[in-house]
Amino acid sequence: MSRRSTEQEAPQPVHYGEAEGGGCDQPGCDNKEAYRCLYRDRRAVDCSWAACAEHLRVVEGRGYCLRHASIVEVLSLAASQGTQVSPPDLDNRCASLVMWTARDLDEPVVERLVRWGDADTSIINDPSIRYTRPDRLRQASGHWERVWALANRTGILLRVGIKVQDDRPEVVVLTGGPTDLLSLVPPWIERHLSGQAARVSQADLVERLAFQQQLLSALDTYVEKYGASYPNVLVPLRV
């Protein structure tokens, strides 16, 4: 009896997010061993915060940053009372721009991957918007990205990404494999930056389609030139 209750009380192993090399984000903490916060909002945008075990809080066996731990606690309390609340959006304009752009591109990109693939390939369509932290050694800025890929048994053949960098929050970058294929400021942001008034919705739609078309043409040109399996190396894909 006592043995059973001990077993029941044994703590579940804590699930932490991906390990991050950059160290803990908590100001003043020097701990180099850090993990991503596991929070993912209702649009599948992941939290960019990484912290050491001491500066993460565990809620229901999962490690979150302090801010999201409180949110997850509220959500799980609501769930226990029979109310399902979806995780509130992360307030990040880079992530939102990736999301809006990727939402429009999803169908045409998947349609292309189907066309470019064959019986031996499969399509990876990961709706999550992930943050890659700044690489200080290479002086590269952090970025948010949404990825599609064509893969076969040996790995990724073609990786297509839409990303927005922290230091250029108004620019959408299309990537093919490891290459930046096209960097564009979406027309509605351009207009906003130049102080022009918003247009009526019909023109807005045309403009958005033209923006999509520019990105898709850049992707088509890349694949026409190099094929869907170039460079035929394994590109790491974080899923």
Task: Enumerate binding residues for Zn ion (CB under 5 A).
Answer: 24, 26, 29, 31, 37, 39, 47, 49, 52, 55, 65, 68
Shortest distance in whole angstroms from residue 169 CB to Zn ion: 20
Shortest distance in whole angstroms from residue 170 CB to Zn ion: 24
For residue 215, the number of C-alpha atoms closer than 13 Å in the C-beta half-sphere is 29
Token digits of residue 53: 């075990």
Shortest distance in whole angstroms from residue 191 CB to Zn ion: 33
How far, in Å, are 44, 46, 95, 133 from residue 130 at the CA level? 9, 6, 8, 10
Shortest distance in whole angstroms from residue 38 CB to Zn ion: 8
Closest to Zn ion by CB, 144 vs 148, is 144
- Segment (H or E) for 185: none
Token digits of residue 13: 């192993």
Closest to Zn ion by CB, 31 vs 196, is 31
**What is d(CA 5, CA 8) in angstroms, rounded to the nearest whole number?**
5
DSSP string, 104-135: HHHHHHHHHHHHH--TT-EEEEEEEEEEE--B
Do residues 94 and 144 make contact, with C-beta atoms less than 8 angstroms apart?
yes
Do residues 153 and 120 make contact, with C-beta atoms less than 8 angstroms apart?
yes
Shortest distance in whole angstroms from residue 14 CB to Zn ion: 15
Shortest distance in whole angstroms from residue 17 CB to Zn ion: 9
Closest to Zn ion by CB, 52 vs 228, is 52
Tally Cβ neighbours within 10 Å of residue 157.
Answer: 25
